[in-house]
Structure 1
């Protein structure tokens, strides 16, 4: 996939949320990824993630936005991890984190064990991945990548 295809795929994933059905599907995908996790807040990494978070909060009113010691950073797409890293930095500047997890709906590139996203303890990719099933990747900086 070249750079233009990557950008088009990311834009298509964001524009797909103009459909309420697709927005609800992404929200449910996110909720499925965090099912069983307790006492956390969600920090959106992008405006597109804010829409998914809002939909998730409508489906499950126990989901809370904001920054806390246990925060999940949410984004719609991940290619390099820059938006996720920026969101993690905002959280860590404001609170002392116990754990900081990132959940993304779509990966635009293959999950790679060399990925290192500053400030993130684990990364979960909920859908749109090129890998099927659950995979776990580790890096030198103890980042775990899980593809669900």
Structure 2
């Protein structure tokens, strides 16, 4: 996938959230990824992630936005990890964290998903969306511990 295709794919996935079923699907995918985790807040890494977070909060009123000692950084797409790293920095500047985990709904690259994102303890990708692969279920998401 070249850069233009990457940008188009990312924009397409964000624009899909203009349709309620797609927004609900991303919110449900996020909730599946964090199912079983307790006592955490969610920091959106982008405006698109804020929409997914709002939908997730409507589906599960126990989900709380904000920054705390146990924070999940949420984003819709990941290509380079810059937005996630910036959100992680904002969280760590605001609070002393016990753990900071990133959850993204879609990976836009065919990379092996062994991300090392500064300030993030672990990364979970709910789907892997690329030009050559279809989406995986959230239960097949990738968890990677940073070094």
- What TM-score do the two structures reach when normalised by structure 1? 0.88
Conservation of the 8 A alpha-carbon contact between 1:45 and 1:84 = yes
Matched residue, 1:92: 92
3-state SS of paired residue (1:126):
strand
- Structure 2: 5+ residue runs without aligned partners? none
Matched residue, 1:116: 116
The answer to whether structure 1 residue 13 and structure 2 residue 47 are counterparts is no
Conservation of the 8 A alpha-carbon contact between 2:115 and 2:123 = no
- Structure 1: 5+ residue runs without aligned partners? 143-148
Matched residue, 1:75: 75
- Equivalents in 1 of 2:11, 2:77: separation in Å? 9
- Which structure would you say has the larger RCO, counting Cα contacts within 8 Å and 6 or more residues apart? 2
Conservation of the 8 A alpha-carbon contact between 1:112 and 1:137 = no
Q: CA deviation at 1:99?
A: 0.3
Give the number of aligned pairs.
Answer: 140
Conservation of the 8 A alpha-carbon contact between 2:126 and 2:142 = no
The answer to whether structure 1 residue 57 and structure 2 residue 57 are counterparts is yes
3-state SS of paired residue (1:120):
coil
The answer to whether structure 1 residue 125 and structure 2 residue 107 are counterparts is no
Q: CA deviation at 1:115?
A: 2.5
CA RMSD after TM alignment: 1.6
- Equivalents in 1 of 2:63, 2:57: separation in Å? 5
The answer to whether structure 1 residue 43 and structure 2 residue 43 are counterparts is yes
- What TM-score do the two structures reach when normalised by structure 2? 0.89
Runs of 4+, deviation exceeding 2 Å: 110-115, 128-138
Matched residue, 2:32: 32
Conservation of the 8 A alpha-carbon contact between 2:124 and 2:142 = no
Matched residue, 2:2: 2
